[in-house]
Every structure is written in structure tokens, then in C-alpha cells.
Amino acid sequence: MHNNDKLFVWHPYASAIDKNPVYGVNKAKGVYIYLDSGEKVIDGMSSWWCVINGYNHPVLNKAIKDQVDKFSHVMFGGFTHKPATDLAKKINEITPKSLQKVFFSDSGSISVEVAMKFAIQYWHSKNLLSKKKFLTVRKGYHGDTMGTMSVSDPTNGMHSIFEKSLLKQLYVSCPEDIKTYTRNSSKSLKEMEKTLKEKNKKIAAVVIEPILQGAGGMRIYHPDYLVQLRKLCTKYNVLLILDEIATGFGRTGKLFGFKHANIVPDILCLGKSITGGYMSLAATVVSKKIAKSISDKDPGIFMHGPTYMANPLACSVALANINLLFSYDWEKKVKNIEKLLKTGLEKIAKNSAIENFRVIGAIGVLEMKNKVDVGSIQKKFVNHGIWLRPFSNLIYIMPPYIISQKDLKFLIRQLETVINKEY
């Protein structure tokens, strides 16, 4: 298998001739991933933040098995089906009342692309054709497709190579760190208001990740920033798109990141943990106001339609996953994870190679002073029975919510051992 991998496979964020080790997986159960080598590792990453209820869950397995015997897929143009309509209803129940229509797509990045298209088409329906630019903050990340790259950090190493090929959007400073933010002295808010005041006739929407900026730096900012941003968007007649791909479904301690600020977006993007890591699925939820305006304006249709839109298998497991999340006290579990992460990372952060640490909900971040040697530290993690995948100068933990205290303590203890060996 590994020969075939080296010969034929290109891995994410890697060279085609990547020298870093790749570990074969033959099984996964609960919080454990079992490797071809016979070793097992505790997954501290929830497979890029999506496996919130653990691997191989009987409830989620059953949802897919029951659906596959009926039909695995049918085009969504001209057809509908129970998994999609039930999931849309469930999303409607758990999101703000003003959000109504759910547009399904294949991945988080596409859900943001769809949100951007909705914003532009909404203003087109209002005959405000100049409102087609997007305003965002630096250090953001919204995906790897062309539209989403244009609203991700322009100088971020991941996307800087493509900068000249992208649509030119508008940027302001990133929100201040939660500890340093004050409303009256926020440079970011001042720049945001100045830009909105001067250029609102050109701006369709502000796009932002609520509370936590994910892959752009794992930065946590103050909820009041969102409160003020919502006011500014309303004041200057600009839509607010919230990208909850990483923060949605409880990861920050609230069901959605925006709930820390008690605000309501005009467009909401969901993905990642929506299916509990079983299948790729995303959703863009738009307000009644947007849906009505686009539909009332000739030709009244929205020009987007993924082939696998509302895939019945994905919708079935997503509904089962959301119901499963609500079947136990997930808030208590996330709070317990947060408590252990704070205690554990505070101790680890005494290592002189660490700049700082930060924790929110089931997210723990160690910011190193220098870039991490992923190949070197990854081997040590695996040898110590844990799976973490650092990027840039960040080592972070996002475990499944169902992780036991014993396993989480082991994960933190082994992380401490490896850091002290590596540095």
C-alpha cells in the first residue's frame, strides 16, 4: 500500500515527493486510530475537527447502512428526499429564526463560495450592481478554492502564490486578541468602520470566522467584536456572512461561535463536523429576506448546483450526528475538555520554546516561537500513542467531544513529554 501511496498519491499541503512519514490506517473506533504497524493512537485532531462523536459510532453507522439500502444518491434538480428535507428542518430548528433556506453543497470551501454568490445576487436583485466586493479581516481562512482564497489572508503562505490570479477584495486588520481587545481602541474596528463608510456602495458582504480564526493562526478574539461588527454591517447596508465551518456544532463551547455574541448573520456557512466526519457535506443558510429578494427578481433562480448536492447518505448521517450531539450533555463534555486543556497547556507552556497558549471550548493551542518540524515531531507523537498534526508554528488539540478524561489526560501528558524531548 505504501509503495502505491508514494507512487500515485498526492497528499494535502504536501509536495508530490514529500519526505514526511505517512501512516497507514486499517481501523478506527471511538477516539482511537489503529495503524498498519499494529500501533494505536488517540486522535487529538478529530480528523481536522470533524469527528466530534468519535469513529465507527453505531448510531451513525446505522444511519448510513439504512439509507444505502434505499438509495445512495439521486440528483437534487427536480427531485427531493426525506434525508435532505429532515436535515434542512433540523438546521432550521437550531439556527436563528430569520435564517430559513438551506442550500447544500459538498464541502466547507464551497459553502463559502455559495454564500459569496448569494450576497452578490441579492444586491443584483436590488439593482445595486456595484455591490460586488467583499470585506474581510487579515489572518482569516475560508478555504482553498479561488473565491475563498480571495477572502483568506492575502499574504498567508498557503495562498500568496495565487494572489495575482485572485479577485481583489478589501481587508482590515485582524481582530485583536481576546486579552488585548477594547472596543474604543480596536484598530480593526476603526478600520472596519472607515472602510464600510467609504466603500459600502461597492461592498456586498463582510466575511468572517466568528470567535476563532482557524487555519489562519488559531486566534481567539472577543465576542464584543462581533457585536460591533453586526451593528456596522446593518448601519452601512452590507451583509454579514459567518463562516462556522470550524466553529459550528459546539467546538467553542457554544453551539455556534456567533452565540458567544448573541448576534444573527445574514448568511451562515456550516460544514466539517455536520456529519461527524463520516462524509463530506456543507450547508449555506440564508435569511428569508435574501431568499425572497433573489426569488422575486427575474429570473428568480440561483445559479449553482453541485452534482452531489444533498447526497442522501451524507444528509442521513448528518441528521443522525446532530441528533446524537443533542442526546447527551455535549456542553458539559466540552467544558470538561476546556478545563483539562487549560490546566495541561498552562503547564506545558512553561517550556521556553513556547510563545503562549490559548484555549476555548474543545480547542487548545500552543503557539511556538519558531516553525514546527512536522516530520520530526509527528514521529515522536505516534511513538507516544497520540495523533496531532501541527502547522506552521502551531501545535493544537481538538479532540472528539466523547473523549474520556483518562484518554485526554494521557493525550496531554504525552504531548508534554514529546515537547520536552523535541525542544
Average pLDDT, the chain: 96
* 88, 309 contact by CB (below 8 A): no
The pLDDT of residue 21 is 87
What CATH homologous superfamily does 2-56+329-422 map to?
Aspartate Aminotransferase, domain 1 (3.90.1150.10)
Residues near 36 by beta carbon (within 8 Å), at least 6 away in sequence = 1, 23, 24, 25, 26
| 265 has pLDDT over 90 | yes
Which residue type does 194 have?
K
For the full predicted model, state whether its pTM sits above 0.95: yes
Task: Report pLDDT digits (tens) over 276-300.
Answer: 999 999 999 999 999 999 999 988 9
The pLDDT of residue 158 is 67
| 18 has pLDDT over 90 | no
| 1 has pLDDT over 70 | no
Residues near 210 by beta carbon (within 8 Å), at least 6 away in sequence = 226, 242, 243, 244, 247, 256, 257, 258, 260, 261
- CATH class of residue range 63-326: alpha beta
Q: Give the Cα separation of 380 and 58 in Å (integer).
A: 32
| 324 has pLDDT over 80 | yes
Q: Is the peptide bond before 299 cis (omega within 30 degrees of 0)?
A: yes
| 2 has pLDDT over 80 | no
Q: At 118, is the pLDDT very low, low, confident or very high (cuts 50, 70, 90)? A: very high
Q: Give the Cα separation of 140 and 134 in Å (integer).
A: 13
Domain boundaries, the chain: 2-56+329-422, 63-326
| 157 has pLDDT over 70 | no
The Cα-based distances of 305 to 61, 106, 114, 310 in angstroms read: 28, 10, 10, 10
Of 11, 5, 2, 4, nearest to 374 (Cα)?
A: 11
Angle at 318 between CA 317 and CA 319, to 5 degrees: 90
Compare 133 and 13 and report the one with higher pLDDT: 133
Could you check whether 2-56+329-422 and 63-326 share the same CATH topology? Answer: no
Task: Report pLDDT digits (tens) over 45-97.
Answer: 999 999 999 999 999 999 999 999 999 999 999 999 999 999 999 999 999 99
- Residues annotated as catalytic (active site), given as ranges: 13, 141, 243, 272
Structure-derived torsion over alpha carbons of residues 305, 308, 310, 312, reported in degrees to the nearest 10 = 160
Q: Give the Cα separation of 399 and 407 in Å (integer).
A: 10
* 421, 394 contact by CB (below 8 A): no
